Structure 1
Amino acid sequence: MKVTQEKLPASQIGLEIEITPEMSQKAYEQVIQKFTRSANIPGFRKGKVPRQVLIQRFGSVQIKATALEELIDETLKQAIEQEKIDALGNFQLRSSFDDLVSQFVPGSALTFSASVDVQPDVALAHYTDFQLQAEEVKPDAEQVDKVLQQYQEQTATLIPVEGRAAQLGDTTVVDYKGVLLSDDPEAEPEPFPGGEAEDFQVELAEGKFIEGFIDGIVGMTPSETKDISVPFPDEYAQETLAGRAARFTITLKEIKEKELPALDDDFAKEISEFETLAELRSSLETRYNEEAEAKTTANKEQAILDELLKHIAVDLPETLIERELSYLLNQTAMQLQNQGIDVKRLFNQDTIGMLKERSRPEAIDRIKRTLALGEVAKRESVKVEPEEISARVTELLAELGDREIDPERLQAVVAEDLLKEKIVGWLIERSTIELVPEGTLAKPDEAEETLDAATVETDGTDTNTVDVTASVVEPTAEAEAATEAEASKGSASDTPAIADAEGEPEPVETAEAEKPKKTRKPSKAKAESTDSE
């Protein structure tokens, strides 16, 4: 079999393959035998149908097309193996299949053209002595006090109050009944589902509910009944209520105020595993200092990765881009599913195409970063020793306990992470990175785009190269605590009439609501992901 290679754009290799007469005859005869064994023609026993009858029944074009499909597939595999081509994905037929069918004569030679994607050549012009800027994240000096105050609020005791009116900061118990108003003065007010409740507990805090509701309660005294006119916001989540004027008849039944616990050692013991308030403060300070330092390090790494993209020249094959896009969409779907969203309804033929188009620039950048870092590792002989991988794997397995983990996948993930750390660290050491105040470089809209991209940028890209640019977006213990606390308050449908502008009650708890612990284990989300990948 004669094979001629040709280098094509987009990291493709063109192949011109000449099929020998013997191969074409053999392929045709094999197809005839298959048709003979499977054909069910009246008047003939299975496997005993004469050749001419088969050709008349199925048509010579169909039989030749079937033989040609198998022949092309088989000869391409042989050509790739014969020429020692490291192909990515499936081949693309460059010759017209219909023309090949018309030219195909069993026992005669036939030439066709195809192409295969191959690993791209990487040209990295420059990767050392970068002069860059990165934002330095510093811990908020008041953050510890804010968190302790939040803990106080969450563990406060509600004390009934008499002899005064309701004021901001109080918690009140009310009965309310709401009706929708019409522009027609003669029209009757219209009740609506969820528009009334009894013994409903309302914290008088700004921004908790639709604008005007809290202000209407402030100043009321127990047993007082009052009408409050408030409009539902135009962007309200429930479309039937959005933009409608409403009137609520409210009866104030009880006023309570918060009695905050003292900030002392007993308080520290109650909300944490620490014996003294000083230990708790020290732990929180250490934690926020480490978080700020980690964010600064991440900013430096991102600056290096962004700069590398400016110096790499590579012609990416479509196979790699499609793989990356599919992976990103799969990760997005998994994350949405974990949030309880029906991804089958969200992901259809139209939305998948749109999402792929929107994600394409990010997918291309991810692949380029991977290839650039891999090129640096190759040129500078940056590698990870087996002992380092074993040590990290042992550490993760101890944290994961009895969970089922694919050990081979875990080893691969750890190797990728450690290699990325080493390469990026090598680059940082050989560059000058000026730290500038937080907020100096990123504009608000750019920050939002970065956050959106981060939600789908996870590791595991199958590009036949080590994925050293992946970052994992994982739920923190704080976020989980806040989610549980939010769930415990009931769904938005419990109080649709006085929800906030988005149509759902806002969480009282914050991301800082996690109970402080003496030891905080490193994140295991990446290692645990080996179960599902």
Structure 2
Amino acid sequence: MKVIQEVLPDSQVGLEIEIPSEMSQKTYDKVLQQMMRTINIPGFRKGKVPKPVFLQRVGIPQFKAAVLEELVQSAVDQAIKQENIDAIGNYQLKSDFEALLSQYEPTQGLTLQVSVDVPPRVTLKQYKDLTVQAEEILPDLEQVDKTLERYQSNLATLVPVEDRPSQMGDIAVIDFVGKVQDESGEWEAFEGGSAEDFQVELSEGRFIPGFIEGIAGMALEESKDLEISFPDDYSQPDLAGKPALFSITLKEIKEKELPDLDDDFAQEVSEYETIAELRASLEERYTKEATDRTQTNKNEALINALVEHLDAEIPNTLIQREVDFLLTQTIMQFSRQGIDVNKLLTREIVDNMRKQARPEAVDRLKRTLALGEVAKQEGISVDDDALEAKVEETMAEIEDVNQIDPERLVQVLKEELLQEKILTWLEGVNTVELVPEGSLKKADEEAAADADEPEDVAAENAVVDVDATAAE
């Protein structure tokens, strides 16, 4: 079978295939026998239907279309094998199918054009001697005290208070009735807006703005009406932005009596014997978290630099696979949140989700291809012993191993280890400059603001600069 290849953009190969008459006739006979064996026609036993009756029932155009589809698929498969083409995904027919159908005769040859996706064509122009910047995350050891305070609060004893008004930090027990103002200005109760013996901690960030602050300062058995408004971005659209009136009665005030930060406390909230050991473990934890975040920033900076030096033609087949993966992840997340995806995801919504996911899919593929090209050029691979040890370590941490696909687990861990090895190698042959946390984000925001500056304002600034220079 004669095949002419053509290199196409986006990692595609075009194929012009000349199908010989022998293959055409053989496919015709094969499809005819298969369909005649399976068709049911009243008055005839299955497999014993005469050819003229079969063609009359099925229709010659429909039958020829079925033969042509089989012939094209067989020809493409044979051409790919014959030419040793590393094809991914299915073929795309470039010839007009209706035109081929009108030309097709089982005793004659046929010429058709198709394209197939092949692995990405990748060029990484530079991956050594790069200089990148990454934000350094310093440990915030104030988190140690905040964590200990949270542990204290969890173990606090609630002591009734009768000799003073409520204040921030107290626990208040209240009755309240909430109403919202409708379009006519009338106050009406709303679902979930009332409760009795409701216990609430008087701390910022709880409930809608003004509710907690309105309770602070109330005396025991005091009642008051509190007029506030729901935020415009409130989670319940029917309440968002509406004025609200809460009638509140303060029934109890309790203050927290915190336990001492001593060795007994450490033993109760942790595995450590002393408060000093607990503090040290927390300091180590937050230091490690900062170190890990810094390393993540370094890795991101290196990968971003690689992508900037990457030329890659990515076939649509791979992009669609990555889009499908991202879409599946999103749907699974919806399901875990208790959302009925069958009702939520209409065809239009899914199509929009695919469009929105495509840029992220392309970006993810570019990052993977860039790292893969480094591994290819430098011969970086994962040792079998290291992989086996990682698999054993991971399996030991999994409670129900029966729910794990062992082959998939090995694949994922191998990819993780390979990426770690590549990034370690890259850090050794490139320069990573550490800069203060937030500085790169600030620089990006300033650059974006400059890019968005109206031309007339930019021109005005330029005139001012020229005038100032002239004045000097």
Shared fold by TM > 0.5?
A: yes
Question: Given residue 140 of structure 1, which amino acid in structure 2 is its aligned partner?
Answer: D
**Distance change (3 Å), C-alpha of 1:336 and 1:95:** same
**Distance change (3 Å), C-alpha of 1:69 and 1:138:** same
- 2:164 maps to what in 1? 164
| Among candidates 332, 336, 339, match of residue 338 of structure 1 | 336
- Please state if 1:262 is matched with 2:255: no
Question: Given residue 426 of structure 1, which amino acid in structure 2 is its aligned partner?
Answer: W
SS in 2 for 1:441: helix
SS in 2 for 1:410: helix
State how far apart, in whole Å, the 1-side matches of 2:22 and 2:284 are.
76
- 2:409 maps to what in 1? 410
- 2:350 maps to what in 1? 352
1:120-519 map, 5 Å: 120-181=120-181, 187=186, 189-400=187-398, 403-404=401-402, 405-443=404-442
Question: Given residue 319 of structure 1, which amino acid in structure 2 is its aligned partner?
Answer: T
SS in 1 for 2:90: strand
- 1:68 maps to what in 2? 68
Encode CA deviations 1:51-96: one digit per residue, 9 max, x unaligned: 2233333322111111111111112111111111110000011111
State how far apart, in whole Å, the 2-side matches of 1:80 and 1:183 are.
70
1:11-160 map, 5 Å: 11-160=11-160
State how far apart, in whole Å, the 1-side matches of 2:366 and 2:277 are.
46
SS in 2 for 1:324: helix
Q: Structure 1 residue 24: deviation in Å?
A: 1.1
Encode CA deviations 1:231-254: one digit per residue, 9 max, x unaligned: 222332223322332322221111
Structure 1 residues 343-352 or 279-288, which shifts more? Answer: 343-352
Encode CA deviations 1:304-338: one digit per residue, 9 max, x unaligned: 00000111111111011111111111122223322
Q: Structure 1 residue 209: deviation in Å?
A: 1.8
Residue-pair matches, total: 444
Q: Structure 1 residue 174: deviation in Å?
A: 1.1
State how far apart, in whole Å, the 2-side matches of 1:167 and 1:25 are.
92
State how far apart, in whole Å, the 2-side matches of 1:102 and 1:88 are.
30
Structure 1 residues 351-360 or 303-312, which shifts more? Answer: 351-360
**Distance change (3 Å), C-alpha of 1:409 and 1:234:** closer
State how far apart, in whole Å, the 2-side matches of 1:420 and 1:434 are.
21
Contact map agreement 2:141 2:286 (CA 8 A) in 1: no
Question: Given residue 434 of structure 1, which amino acid in structure 2 is its aligned partner?
Answer: E
Question: Given residue 149 of structure 1, which amino acid in structure 2 is its aligned partner?
Answer: E
SS in 2 for 1:377: helix
Question: Given residue 230 of structure 1, which amino acid in structure 2 is its aligned partner?
Answer: I
Unaligned runs of 5+ in 1: 447-533
State how far apart, in whole Å, the 1-side matches of 2:401 and 2:443 are.
40
Structure 1 residues 270-279 or 378-387, which shifts more? Answer: 378-387
State how far apart, in whole Å, the 1-side matches of 2:41 and 2:388 are.
64
Question: Given residue 25 of structure 2, which amino acid in structure 1 is its aligned partner?
Answer: Q
State how far apart, in whole Å, the 2-side matches of 1:211 and 1:402 are.
44
Encode CA deviations 1:251-300: one digit per residue, 9 max, x unaligned: 11111111111111111111111110000000000011111001101100
Contact map agreement 2:132 2:301 (CA 8 A) in 1: yes
Contact map agreement 2:261 2:275 (CA 8 A) in 1: yes
Structure 1 residues 165-174 or 203-212, which shifts more? Answer: 203-212
Q: Tell me which structure has the larger Cα radius of gyration.
A: 2
**Distance change (3 Å), C-alpha of 1:445 and 1:343:** farther
**Distance change (3 Å), C-alpha of 1:199 and 1:122:** same
Q: Structure 1 residue 182: deviation in Å?
A: 5.0
> Which TM-score applies when normalising by structure 2?
0.89
Encode CA deviations 1:130-176: one digit per residue, 9 max, x unaligned: 11100000111311111111111121111001121111111111111
Question: Given residue 179 of structure 2, which amino acid in structure 1 is its aligned partner?
Answer: V
State how far apart, in whole Å, the 1-side matches of 2:184 and 2:56 are.
80
**Distance change (3 Å), C-alpha of 1:415 and 1:64:** same
**Distance change (3 Å), C-alpha of 1:121 and 1:213:** closer
Q: Structure 1 residue 340: deviation in Å?
A: 2.6
Judging by fraction of residues, say which structure has more helix. Answer: 2
SS in 2 for 1:235: coil
State how far apart, in whole Å, the 2-side matches of 1:58 and 1:401 are.
57
State how far apart, in whole Å, the 2-side matches of 1:202 and 1:15 are.
72
Q: Structure 1 residue 183: deviation in Å?
A: 6.6
State how far apart, in whole Å, the 2-side matches of 1:182 and 1:357 are.
40
Question: Given residue 172 of structure 1, which amino acid in structure 2 is its aligned partner?
Answer: A
State how far apart, in whole Å, the 2-side matches of 1:92 and 1:228 are.
68
Aligned-residue sequence identity (percent) comes to 56
Unaligned runs of 5+ in 2: 446-472
Encode CA deviations 1:100-154: one digit per residue, 9 max, x unaligned: 1110111111111111100122111110001110000011131111111111112
Q: Structure 1 residue 5: deviation in Å?
A: 1.2
State how far apart, in whole Å, the 1-side matches of 2:352 and 2:181 are.
41
SS in 1 for 2:401: coil
Contact map agreement 2:135 2:440 (CA 8 A) in 1: yes
SS in 2 for 1:442: helix
State how far apart, in whole Å, the 1-side matches of 2:431 and 2:260 are.
48
Q: Structure 1 residue 197: deviation in Å?
A: 1.3
SS in 1 for 2:117: strand
> Which TM-score applies when normalising by structure 1?
0.80
**Distance change (3 Å), C-alpha of 1:433 and 1:380:** same
Question: Given residue 251 of structure 1, which amino acid in structure 2 is its aligned partner?
Answer: T
Question: Given residue 49 of structure 2, which amino acid in structure 1 is its aligned partner?
Answer: V
Q: Structure 1 residue 445: deviation in Å?
A: 9.4
State how far apart, in whole Å, the 2-side matches of 1:379 and 1:433 are.
21
**Distance change (3 Å), C-alpha of 1:184 and 1:375:** closer
Encode CA deviations 1:447-472: one digit per residue, 9 max, x unaligned: xxxxxxxxxxxxxxxxxxxxxxxxxx
**Distance change (3 Å), C-alpha of 1:288 and 1:378:** same
Over aligned residues, Cα RMSD in angstroms? 1.9
Encode CA deviations 1:201-248: one digit per residue, 9 max, x unaligned: 121222212222223222221122222222222332223322332322
**Distance change (3 Å), C-alpha of 1:154 and 1:3:** same
